[in-house]
Amino acid sequence: MTKYIIAGNWKMNKTPDDAAVLAKDIVNAVANAPAEAEVVICPPFTALSAVAKIIAGSSVALGAQNMHFEKSGAYTGEVAPDMLVQLGVKYVIIGHSERRAYFAETDETVNKKVIAAFANGLVPIICVGETLHERELGITADLVRMQVRIAFGGITAEQAKTAVIAYEPVWAIGTGKTATNEQADEVCGIIRQTVGEIYNKDVAAETVIQYGGSMNAANARELLSMPNINGGLIGGASLKSEDFKTIVFSV
């Protein structure tokens, strides 16, 4: 059975009270979700505790949107891996394009965070993808291969099997634009091929590769039907429980 992971990235939205309401709506909406679909919601740090209480005992898993790679120290404003673990977090988004663009995230810091995530029992959702300029230059494949190879530096095959990779065409995030099904699947296929080159075909086959470029209720079924796409990292649509439900039930 193919495993699908549908993760909602709430970004900088929802107070703890608002997040609790949305989490409850989502838990109810996906209560009878397909067995092959794992549902993850990633609220802001301030709402993690409130959401953890709501989803306790449900099939919905908790994710965080970022973390630091050090265990502790003078890193004002940062959050350590074990802090997330104590809150019940299972997944953590690493290297989101917005983190790369606005907060100086690099391929090297992504790798450090991936290593730290595995060391603390967290499952990383590793984001890779190209800007419109990079796509127009024809370097999408080379860029994505490089991002994947650097992200997995020092990661064992057993760890890699459990990792999640989200392909984010940066030009399609928050713009309403979406890569065609074929474009999305092509790059996800390149990602899977690269994982196979680093490890082997078995690891590549088990790695969950999400599409993260404005997947929504209208296009989810077709995108999720593509051979190399087995999940979605959902932005805006994850803030609407009915839209998110439609995506989950599209697997």
Phi/psi for 87 (5° steps) reads: -85, -5
Question: What are 92's two structure tokens?
Answer: 């953590």
CB 91 within 8 A of CB 61: yes
If you count them, how many residues does the chain have? 251
Burial category of 181 from C-beta neighbours within 10 Å (exposed 0-12, middle 13-18, buried 19 and up): middle
Pick the catalytic residue from 38, 68, 96, 105: 96
Pick the catalytic residue from 38, 98, 130, 168: 168
b/e burial code for range 14-32 (CB count within 10 A of at least 16 → b): beeeebbebbebbbebbee
168 is catalytic: yes
133 is catalytic: no
Question: What are 236's two structure tokens?
Answer: 């805006």
What is the rounded distance in angstroms from the CA atom of residue 251 to the CA atom of residue 248?
A: 6
Residues acting as catalytic residues: 96, 168
